[in-house]
Amino acid sequence: MCGIVGYIGNKQVVPILLDGLQKLEYRGYDSAGIAVLLDGKIERRRIEGKIAGLKEKMAKEPINGFMGIGHTRWATHGRPTEENAHPHIDCKNEIVLVHNGIIENYFTLRQELIELGHKFVSDTDTEVLAHLIEENNKSGNFLEAVVKSLKEAEGSYALAIVLDKTPDKLYAARLGSPLVIGIGEGEYYIASDVLAILNYTKKVIFLEDGEIAEVSKEGFHIYTIADLSRVNKKAQLITWDPITAEKSGYRHFMLKEIYEQPRVIEENIKGRLSKDKEEVYLDFPDLPDKELEGIKKVLIIACGTSYHAGLVGKFILEKILRISVEVDIGSEFRYRDPIIDKNTLLIAISQSGETADTIAAVKEAQKSNAKIISICNVLDSSITRLSHGVIYTHAGPEVGVASTKAFTAQLTALYLLALYLGKLRKSISKIELIELIDELLKLPKKVEAILENDKDIIKCSKTYFKYKNFLYLGRGINYPIALEGALKLKEISYLHAEGYPAGEMKHGPIALIDENMPIVAIVPHGQVYDKMVSNLREVQARQGVIVAVGYKNDEIVKEMSDYFFTIPETIDFLTPILTIIPLQLLAYHVALKLGVDIDQPRNLAKSVTVE
Ligand code: F6R
């Protein structure tokens, strides 16, 4: 969490920093600040709250300058006040820095520095770094001072640092938090995420963990933090279009991203299937077919919405591969002494590729020599680098904090992976493969049809936004969709919503049901349809209010429901990609009625890079 940005070049730096921060605001929006170096003097502006507030402050108290750094914060240590806002400075206002990550030994370092006479003005872990570098800079070689300090600091960081005495240089370092250098003409950018600099350049270098860069207008040098040896890296071209990072006329990014799903699903399928529908093309250069054929167990690791995609993945992979699949939440997996070995395939699912708990779990699995495939959206992100193979989800930048298009893209990737492995391991017949591919290809149009039919959903949101508690019920492959639907509602509307396997209702939650607790039921036809209908009868018998998602021609469920959202028919196995769409829209329209901040819900950040 937290977003950092930096610039050095011939342009006025403030608009570039503000623009970059605006793009990074999804990473945290508790406070914001920038620092600019001009005529050897560091000027800072900071505020509590969002970038809009910082823009206002900059308009009232402008600064000129051609190099500087900026930060948008998701508070970890210290309340979200102006004093705790980055950039942070040393005692003499000579060193200024912005930080994304956590300095775990900050308390000890802070005590030592206080004893040496340093004065602290914030409660943050980050301020320790400014004073530590100041302390170590007595030799006069700034790069060495920064490196020495980073070796003393424990934890994670992406840093951008400015020293008043070297106005021609900007320093950037990375350990555990992402950092990218953007290459322009006689100008360079630093950012947590390419989104921040996409308007200016698509040519980038991704810093690796343990690297530090010294950047000037003329170019940059990258060194290892371990021994300051030079590192040569090749620039990469980013294919994302800056327009996809804009709202394009939609009221919110979340809505735009919901409506992008037909295209995203299509792009994920396109190019990965042969015309005769007999082949799935996935490329895992470091995972020879022989190794994938020998897999005995699959373990899926993810957090939040990606975890819900993983739960659907269990159904998909077990059905096609007929091998056992476990699904774990990143933060749980690493502390439970899991049983994995070289015959385990670990699938890490992450939109950002930077979720700290998922990264830690992947590193844990590495120790047991598991084969690792990741399903990620962000190019060259940390998780992709830890993997033997990657399926990129090609969803484009997802800016809304609540994940929507990344989820359906992850589901699509899981279907493709299951079909690919199924063919390789001969657990699926040619006819089955063709049939499934045929249905998969029809999904984009079906999602489009649901999106065009949002009138009932809007009407329903107008009825139910006043309710405080919701129970989402699903069974089988749609049980994870109940969890995901409930998560969408709670995270953006702050209403209480629980996802539950419908069959479990009578073991406890049924006690909650009355006319004040809407039940959102996912009931497409399939293996568990009759069971779901029986569960809904139990709700009906207790005067429960029913909102259902099901097939158009389903008169039974329609008649039982207060609101009925229809989806086009598909095979049972593929329904989650369709059933989630009305639930995303329902959450969006309820939140809209409540007038809350849909794209940036309170207390959240898009990418959770701390444990
Ligand atoms: C919910 C949401 C989060 C993320 C979770 C994992 O809408 O976005 O629950 O899914 O933080 O993030 P990634 O997928 O980036 O690892």
Q: Which tens digits make up the pLDDT trace of 185-214?
A: 999 999 998 989 999 999 999 999 999 999
pLDDT above 80 for 434 = yes
Dig out the tokens for 407 from the structure: 């989820």
For the chain, what is the mean pLDDT? 93
Q: Which of 328-337, 436-445, 498-507, 538-547 has the highest mean predicted lDDT (pLDDT)?
A: 436-445
Topology, domain 3-246: Glutamine Phosphoribosylpyrophosphate, subunit 1, domain 1 (3.60.20)
- For residue 307, the ligand 1 atom closest to its alpha carbon is 10
The model's pLDDT over 514-523, given as tens digits with 9 standing for 90+, comes to: 889 999 999 9
Q: What is the mean pLDDT of residues 45-52?
A: 94
Element counts in the chain: helices (H) and strands (E):
19, 25
* pLDDT level of residue 416 (50, 70, 90 thresholds): very high
Q: What is the mean pLDDT of residues 244-252?
A: 81
**Does the fold of domain 256-441 match that of domain 3-246?**
no
pLDDT > 90 fraction of the chain, expressed in percent and rounded: 81
* pLDDT level of residue 242 (50, 70, 90 thresholds): confident
Measured by CA distance, the residue closest to atom 3 of ligand 1 is: 304
The model's pLDDT over 326-384, given as tens digits with 9 standing for 90+, comes to: 999 998 987 888 889 999 999 999 999 999 999 999 999 999 999 999 999 988 888 99
Q: Which residues contact 340 (CB under 8 A, 6 or more apart)?
A: 297, 299, 346, 365, 368, 370
| Catalytic-role residue among 314, 371, 423, 606 | 606
C-alpha torsion angle, residues 385, 390, 394, 399 (rounded to 10): -40
Q: Is 2 a catalytic residue?
A: yes
The reported pLDDT for the residue numbered 76 is 79
Between these two residues, 247 and 170, which has the higher pLDDT value? 170
Measure 351 CA to ligand 1 centroid, in angstroms: 7
Other Cβ atoms less than 10 A from the Cβ of 381: the count is 24
Which H helix or E strand runs over 129? helix 126-136
pLDDT above 90 for 124 = yes
pLDDT above 80 for 526 = yes
Identify the sign of the CA torsion 501, 506, 509, 515. positive
| Catalytic-role residue among 2, 303, 376, 460 | 2
Measured by CA distance, the residue closest to atom 5 of ligand 1 is: 304
Q: DSSP character for 244?
A: G
- For residue 608, the ligand 1 atom closest to its alpha carbon is 11
Dig out the tokens for 517 from the structure: 């607790």
Q: What is the mean pLDDT of residues 413-426?
A: 96
Q: What is the mean pLDDT of residues 224-248?
A: 86
Architecture per CATH, 256-441: 3-Layer(aba) Sandwich (3.40)
Measure 357 CA to ligand 1 centroid, in angstroms: 11
Measure 397 CA to ligand 1 centroid, in angstroms: 13
* pLDDT level of residue 74 (50, 70, 90 thresholds): confident
Q: DSSP character for 502?
A: G
Q: Pick 448-594's CATH classification: 1.10.287.130, 3.60.70.12, 3.40.50.10490, 3.40.250.10.
A: 3.40.50.10490
- For residue 355, the ligand 1 atom closest to its alpha carbon is 16
Whether 364 and 354 have beta carbons less than 8 Å apart is answered as: no
Out of 305, 401, 488, 607, mutate this one to test ligand 1's pocket (max ligand atoms within 8 Å of CB): namely 305
Report domain extents, the chain: 3-246, 256-441, 448-594
Beta bridge partners of 349: 375
Q: What is the mean pLDDT of residues 300-307?
A: 98
* pLDDT level of residue 12 (50, 70, 90 thresholds): very high
Distance CA 408, CA 427 (A): 25
* pLDDT level of residue 603 (50, 70, 90 thresholds): confident
* pLDDT level of residue 247 (50, 70, 90 thresholds): confident
- For residue 406, the ligand 1 atom closest to its alpha carbon is 14
The reported pLDDT for the residue numbered 541 is 87
Query: What is the residue-wise DSSP string for 58-117?
Result: HHHS----SEEEEEEE--SSS-SSTTTSSPEE-TTS-EEEEEEEEETTHHHHHHHHHHTT
The reported pLDDT for the residue numbered 542 is 87
The model's pLDDT over 259-270, given as tens digits with 9 standing for 90+, comes to: 999 999 999 998
- Percent of the chain as helix, strand, coil, to the nearest 5: 40, 25, 35
- For residue 302, the ligand 1 atom closest to its alpha carbon is 16
Measure 402 CA to ligand 1 centroid, in angstroms: 8
Residues near ligand 1 with C-beta < 6 Å?
303-306, 350-352, 355, 358, 402-403, 487, 491, 607-608
Q: What is the mean pLDDT of residues 568-592?
A: 97
pLDDT above 80 for 139 = no
pLDDT > 70 fraction of the chain, expressed in percent and rounded: 99
Distance CA 117, CA 115 (A): 5
Out of 355, 414, 600, mutate this one to test ligand 1's pocket (max ligand atoms within 8 Å of CB): namely 355
* pLDDT level of residue 240 (50, 70, 90 thresholds): confident
Our measurement of the distance from residue 46's CA atom to the centroid of its chain's CA atoms, rounded to an integer in Å, reads 26
